[in-house]
Amino acid sequence: MTEIQIRLADINRRASDAQAQRDRQFWTLIGFHMLVIVGALMLFVSIPRAQSAFHQQYLAQQESRNG
């Protein structure tokens, strides 16, 4: 191989490595965003259910005190 071909192969290898690193960073960022979104959805669903359960528990306690 000539010197130019060796340099081009090295440049192409480094460019490929850099692209792979950017891809990994992108998918890692997407993964973290998805975890945050799923966590937020779980909170959005579970907080009203927890409030409802606490309210039912409070009503049951009131009923047992008055009964």
Predicted pLDDT at 46: 94
B/e letters for 37-67, b = 16+ CB within 10 Å, e = fewer, are eeeeeeeeeeeeeeeeeeeeeeeeeeeeeee
Q: What is the pLDDT along the chain (67 residues), one digit of tens a residue?
A: 799 999 999 999 999 999 999 999 999 999 999 999 999 999 999 999 999 999 999 999 998 887 6
